[in-house]
Amino acid sequence: MKFSLVQLGCIALSATASVVSPREQALNGTEGLLSCLSTRKLPFLVPSSAAWASHTTTYNARLQYRPAAVLVATTTQQISDGVVCAAQNGIPVQAKSGGHSYASFSAGGRDGILVVDLGNLNDITVDNSTGIAVVGAGVRIGNLALGIYEQGSRALAHGTCPGVGVGGHFTHGGFGYSSRAFGLAMDQIVALDVVLANGSFIRANERSHPEVYWALRGAADSFGIVTTFHLQTSLAPSRVVQWEFSFPRALASVSAAVRAFRGVQDFALSATVDRNLGLGVNIADNAASFVVHGTYLGSIAAFNATIVPALLASVPFAPDPKASSMQEVGWIASLTRLGGLSTLAVPLTGYDARDNFFAKSVTTSKPFSEAALRRFFAFILDKGVGNDAPVGWFSIMDLYGGPGSALGTRNESFAAYRGYQDLWVVQNYGFVGVDRTFPKAGLDFMSGLNDALASETPGHGAYLNYIDPSYPREEALRVYYGEKTHARLKALKEILDPGNVFSNPQSI
Ligand SMILES: Cc1cc2nc3c(=O)[nH]c(=O)nc-3n(C[C@H](O)[C@H](O)[C@H](O)COP(=O)(O)OP(=O)(O)OC[C@H]3O[C@@H](n4cnc5c(N)ncnc54)[C@H](O)[C@@H]3O)c2cc1C
Ligand SMILES: *[C@@H]1O[C@H](CO)[C@@H](O)[C@H](O)[C@H]1NC(C)=O
Ligand SMILES: *[C@@H]1O[C@H](CO)[C@@H](O)[C@H](O)[C@H]1NC(C)=O
Ligand SMILES: *[C@@H]1O[C@H](CO)[C@@H](O)[C@H](O)[C@H]1NC(C)=O
Ligand SMILES: *[C@@H]1O[C@H](CO)[C@@H](O)[C@H](O)[C@H]1NC(C)=O
Ligand SMILES: *[C@@H]1O[C@H](CO)[C@@H](O)[C@H](O)[C@H]1NC(C)=O
């Protein structure tokens, strides 16, 4: 069949009706869903549709699921109708924005759901008087950065990969190297237009539906479908320093690595550090590289005069000059370099980037202890160097807190996010080629790597945007939200989505 958006449910319905009347035998959930979507003349895909593969192939090739149908919505009314159809037939719903969920939750995280694909919601409009950007929930962050910059040199804090969608990223945290200055991506949301489980459509902000506004920022996947984001932009910094120092000798031994990280950590907690500094420590496998890098929102002269001497004095090794650099660039050039591609622009259709991976995370509000760092680097140097590891891997240890960080000014009364006091958020990411099977040994390796750090870090959490499908639901909710926020979310779920329409294997 050559049409892309079909109403194949009509066919399913008439076939069913000719055999046995719905009154005599209730349709099963999937049949009922397709029948309802057809009756309401909604644009949806089923497995026989030509566009099925392009709309359901997951970013994470390790976790592929088969939805019951995909609603390719262009209007709020269609989304509302689709949610009602799914709810009536007991079919779970998840939104799909950029599709980059680490657990493929935007494809369900299991078979048989209704996916609401938001890829057609691509408008970006900045109000010049308020600086508020009105952004469709299908926009990818590369296009977002370009769109708001073109409309008055505006900027938002968000992650690095241009293909990531605002839908997932802005509702589950969202960290970029300007977040210590501007906050998480989520913190810039001033209002949300959202379809709720009963199909109603509301605008939620601080004053109107404040409980929806709170819950959606941290747990949107369990509460509704955001159709439009209202985002408070900032004036783009005119100058950004892009910087990197490589310390090859830091991985010569476990004690060297511990001393190097502690040097970075002591520096990160020192009074020299201000909100303009973005910093991460990257550790990668084969080259055994230990790189400290990030951005500085300011001039290279200021950066070189204050930050650099303090950092280099704190780390007990000299950086390799050939693998170290600093350069002053403009805002868009800085984001482009962080994104690692030649442009931030992402085509509106046909996006097909993929990876085959398993990632875990550790968050902590306290400095990493000597014991935690020793176990972590011992694991790396024992099992992770060169070809010893069963999969490719890297660790990114991002500085969220420290002096001046905008994150530390907030707490979980602001949004459904436990991590405002986090100092570090560490991502441990393992990968193989998309055509390979991710080996069990690789899952074990990544768990071992993560546990080495987590087991010596009491009270640690995990980061919502690095969603980790290996946790059972209750444990997932505890590490993502903590007890207080989890309890508040559970109570709200009873009110806002008692039928558990918006669900995935780790939802509230
Ligand atoms: C290459 C890459 C780089 C990344 N870099 C960063 C980074 O620098 N910083 C960082 O913080 N994170 C980063 N991430 C993680 C990223 O933030 C998350 O994967 C994010 O959730 C993806 O958003 P999405 O819209 O693309 O995903 P999707 O898979 O579309 O959605 C993720 C989840 O959010 C839900 N959702 C999506 N849209 C909506 C909506 N409109 N309403 C309600 N629920 C919705 C989905 O149902 C799903 O449960 C990166 C991920 C990748 C793959
Ligand atoms: C429900 O109906 C669909 C479509 O006819 C069919 O593919 C599926 O197997 C049925 N499921 C059950 C549980 O009967
Ligand atoms: C906002 O300002 C920018 C440049 O300053 C301009 O290009 C754009 O058209 C303006 N937008 C509106 C809606 O007035
Ligand atoms: C940074 O400062 C050092 C020492 O003062 C100096 O040698 C170097 O040229 C400066 N680099 C830049 C890019 O300004
Ligand atoms: C959380 O933040 C709110 C608002 O800023 C403040 O009133 C409250 O005291 C804070 N709570 C804690 C536990 O710090
Ligand atoms: C839908 O749910 C919301 C939130 O609970 C509620 O405010 C609204 O009245 C409900 N609408 C209908 C039509 O039931």
Q: Which residue has a Cα nearest atom 33 of ligand 1?
A: 168
Ligand 2 pocket, residue 35 CB under 6 Å: no
Specify whether the CB–CB gap between 402 and 418 falls below 8 A: no
Residues with CB under 6 A from ligand 5: 411, 413
Cα–Cα distance, 42 to 85 (Å, whole number): 10
Which one-letter amino acid corresponds to residue 75?
T
Please tell me the pTM assigned to this model. 0.94
Cα–Cα distance, 435 to 345 (Å, whole number): 27
Q: Measured in angstroms, how far is the CA atom of residue 139 from the centroid of ligand 5?
A: 33
Q: Measured in angstroms, how far is the CA atom of residue 303 from the centroid of ligand 4?
A: 10
Tokens encoding 120: 């057609």
Treating both helix axes as pointing N-terminal to C-terminal, what angle do 473-496 and 210-219 enclose, rounded to 10 degrees?
160
Residue 109 has what DSSP assignment?
S
Tell me the pLDDT tens digit for each residue of 425-470.
999 999 999 999 999 999 999 999 999 999 999 999 999 999 999 9
Specify whether the CB–CB gap between 360 and 394 falls below 8 A: no
* pLDDT for the residue numbered 388: 85
**Among 38-42, 177-181, 192-196, 349-353, which is the least confidently predicted range?**
349-353
Q: Measured in angstroms, how far is the CA atom of residue 166 from the centroid of ligand 2?
A: 34
Q: Measured in angstroms, how far is the CA atom of residue 219 from the centroid of ligand 6?
A: 19
Tokens encoding 19: 């055999």
Tokens encoding 455: 């087991």
Ligand 3 pocket, residue 128 CB under 6 Å: yes
For the CA of 127, the nearest atom of ligand 3: 13
For the CA of 151, the nearest atom of ligand 3: 3
Return the best residue to mutate from 187, 206, 413 for the ligand 5 pocket (most ligand atoms within 8 A of CB): 413
Q: Measured in angstroms, how far is the CA atom of residue 409 from the centroid of ligand 5?
A: 9
Cα–Cα distance, 444 to 35 (Å, whole number): 44
Q: Which residue has a Cα nearest atom 8 of ligand 6?
A: 200
Q: Which residue has a Cα nearest atom 14 of ligand 6?
A: 198
Return the best residue to mutate from 194, 195, 198, 492 for the ligand 6 pocket (most ligand atoms within 8 A of CB): 198
**498 C-beta neighbours (distance < 10 Å), count:** 10
Which of left, alpha, beta for 237 (phi over 0: left; psi -120 to 50: alpha)?
Answer: beta
Tokens encoding 94: 């998840």
**213 C-beta neighbours (distance < 10 Å), count:** 22
Which one-letter amino acid corresponds to residue 113?
I
Tell me the pLDDT tens digit for each residue of 293-332.
999 999 999 999 999 999 999 999 999 999 999 999 999 9
pLDDT at 17 over 50: no
**Taken in order 13, 18, 23, 27, is the CA torsion positive or negative?**
negative
Return the percentage of the chain with pLDDT > 70, whole number.
94
Cα–Cα distance, 176 to 337 (Å, whole number): 13
Specify whether the CB–CB gap between 177 and 329 falls below 8 A: no
pLDDT at 64 over 70: yes
Radius of gyration of the chain (CA): 23
Q: Which residue has a Cα nearest atom 13 of ligand 2?
A: 28
Give me the long-range contacts of 343-346 (CB less than 8 A, separation at least 24).
Answer: 343/142, 343/162, 344/142, 344/143, 344/145, 344/146, 344/162, 345/142, 345/143, 345/146, 345/162, 346/140, 346/142, 346/143, 346/162, 346/163
* pLDDT for the residue numbered 16: 32
Q: Which residue has a Cα nearest atom 9 of ligand 3?
A: 151
Specify whether the CB–CB gap between 451 and 428 falls below 8 A: no
Q: Which residue has a Cα nearest atom 4 of ligand 6?
A: 496
Q: Calculate the average pLDDT of the chain.
A: 94
* pLDDT for the residue numbered 82: 98
Residue 327 has what DSSP assignment?
E
Confidence band (pLDDT; 50, 70, 90) for 28?
confident
Cα–Cα distance, 487 to 87 (Å, whole number): 24
Cα–Cα distance, 171 to 203 (Å, whole number): 15
The number of helices, as runs of H, and strands, as runs of E, in the chain is: 15, 18
Specify whether the CB–CB gap between 348 and 147 falls below 8 A: no
Residue that wins the pLDDT comparison between 249 and 11: 249
Ligand 3 pocket, residue 152 CB under 6 Å: yes
Confidence band (pLDDT; 50, 70, 90) for 386?
confident
Confidence band (pLDDT; 50, 70, 90) for 196?
very high
* pLDDT for the residue numbered 23: 44
Which one-letter amino acid corresponds to residue 210?
P
**Among 21-35, 170-184, 358-372, which is the least confidently predicted range?**
21-35
Residues with CB under 6 A from ligand 6: 196, 198, 200, 495-496
Ligand 3 pocket, residue 349 CB under 6 Å: no
Q: Measured in angstroms, how far is the CA atom of residue 40 from the centroid of ligand 1?
A: 30
* pLDDT for the residue numbered 287: 59
Q: Measured in angstroms, how far is the CA atom of residue 270 from the centroid of ligand 5?
A: 25
Residue with tokens 């920022």: 217
Tokens encoding 504: 């995935």
Tokens encoding 311: 């950092």
**238 C-beta neighbours (distance < 10 Å), count:** 12
